[in-house]
Structure 1
């Protein structure tokens, strides 16, 4: 159930019907936002002085996802 939820919301899964099975995974927009948020939170904890810059970059990314998907 968790795997299906992750695939539906955070990860795209594309299966190719070939002789040698092939599957590709990529992040959905929600998955990319989640990953970027985790990255930002970790960087802020490591470098508190850079927190404002990191939050600004996160806001810009979210804005671009909202208006330019």
Structure 2
């Protein structure tokens, strides 16, 4: 049986894993919006990369979503 401290550490780790992708996609969205007017081809690459990253890190939650 895991101690309460171990359980809290695991929960903290799980929450950090959710926050990091959120930060990543906000940053990519910002970069896209700044680059798109100047270099649309680069902006398209950022968009494709964000889609690839989103699908590669998407994991189902405990309830299957």
Question: What is the TM-score when the length of structure 2 is the normalising length?
Answer: 0.45
Please identify which structure carries the higher strand content.
Answer: 1
